[in-house]
Amino acid sequence: MKIASLDHIVLCVARVDRTIEFYQRLLGMEAREERPGKWSLHFGSNKISLQEAGSVPDIARSTAPGSGNFCVLTRDPVVQFSEELRSLGIEIVAGPGEREGATGKLLSVYFRDPDGNLVEVSNPLPDSAAET
């Protein structure tokens, strides 16, 4: 078997409503109720499913709020976004700094959501081989 792409990730959260508000306000994600009480956040062709800690299914028994860590890409300048985070009183954990992403180098900034999940927002950097 060869995996083709990532479909979605799941975050265990303390309060779905608080998580939705944070990601909508800060990152412009769209909340959708997939079925009664089951929410997800959408951006581009991607999805983050949300599971409230009190109702995590047995299959995900070891998950807990704040145990997530993921990266999203943006076309908006990460340096300017970092300034916006500071102005909103959101602590920057690291960055902006250069990192290695799935398809090349990134300029990344890290911060935590209300549950403590580590969020990395990145700009793809030009390929150094293409610059020569």
120 is an active site residue: yes
The two tokens of residue 119 are 């969020």
- Strands (DSSP E) along 20-128, which ranges? 30-35, 38-43, 46-52, 69-73, 92-100, 105-112, 118-124
Q: What is the pLDDT of residues 3-48, one digit of tens each?
A: 677 878 999 999 999 999 999 999 999 999 998 989 999 999 999 9
pTM (two decimals): 0.85
Model confidence at 57, pLDDT cuts 50, 70, 90, reads low
Catalytic residue from among 34, 91, 120, 131 = 120
Backbone angles phi, psi at 23, to 5 degrees: -70, -35
Q: What is the pLDDT of residues 62-81, one digit of tens each?
A: 778 888 899 999 999 999 99
Break the chain into its structural domains and give their ranges: 8-131
The two tokens of residue 51 are 């599971």
8-131 CATH fold: 2,3-Dihydroxybiphenyl 1,2-Dioxygenase; domain 1 (3.10.180)
